[in-house]
Amino acid sequence: MELKYEFYINATPEQVWQTIVSPEGTRSTFFGTILNSTLEPGAAFEYVGPGNDGADTVHVYGTILQADPGKVLSYLEHPGPSYRENHAELESRVTFTMETVGTCTKLTLLNDQWTLDHPSLANAKEHWWMMLSNIKTYTETGKTLDFGW
């Protein structure tokens, strides 16, 4: 299974990158989490924020595959330990690609290489739209969308 989304954002690739990796950007667009990582290929990462285990819940974690500022962020991810007992066995790959198109940025998200029968696939299908819409809105306006939660 492959989930692929394309958004056009009225900002530079560097601005989109900052939204995707900075604490302010991820907290605003990734459901209140912060990306903890050195962003070096092979380094560990985790998205941490409020959740099942309190303020420092690990929502997803894994390994950075590629981090080229303003161009590509790719990682292998697992659901956080509080979500699935077999979290270490469940995996997918996430790749954000940014490219300049005119005076805007085309952001492509590819979420693929899903472990067979991965229970988070349905949730990802629903929530990527929300997160990507929030990335677009936040990068362009500095504000987030209100999903009523």
Question: Tell me, what amino acid is at 48?
Answer: V
Q: Tell me the residue range of the domain where 16 lies.
A: 3-141
At residue 112, the 3 state secondary structure works out as: strand
Question: 105-114 pLDDT, tens per residue?
Answer: 999 999 999 9
The CA distances from residue 124 to 107, 112, 114, in Å, are 17, 11, 11
Mean pLDDT, the chain, integer: 95
Interaxial angle between packed helices 13-21 and 121-141, expressed in degrees from 0 to 180 and rounded to the nearest 10? 130
Total-model pTM: 0.94
Give a yes or no: residue 129 inside a domain: yes
Token output for 48: 């941490």
Give a yes or no: residue 70 inside a domain: yes
The CA distances from residue 29 to 3, 18, 87, 129, 147, in Å, are 19, 11, 23, 11, 11
CB under 8 Å to 49, separation ≥6 — which residues? 27, 30, 31, 32, 33, 34, 55, 56, 57, 59
Give a yes or no: residue 146 inside a domain: no
Section 120-141 average pLDDT? 94
Domain with residue 50: its CATH number is 3.30.530.20
pLDDT for residue 148: 79
Section 44-57 average pLDDT? 93
Sign of the four-CA dihedral 135, 136, 140, 144 = negative
pLDDT for residue 58: 95
Residue 41 has pLDDT above 80, yes or no: yes
Residue 104 has pLDDT above 90, yes or no: yes
Give a yes or no: residue 149 inside a domain: no
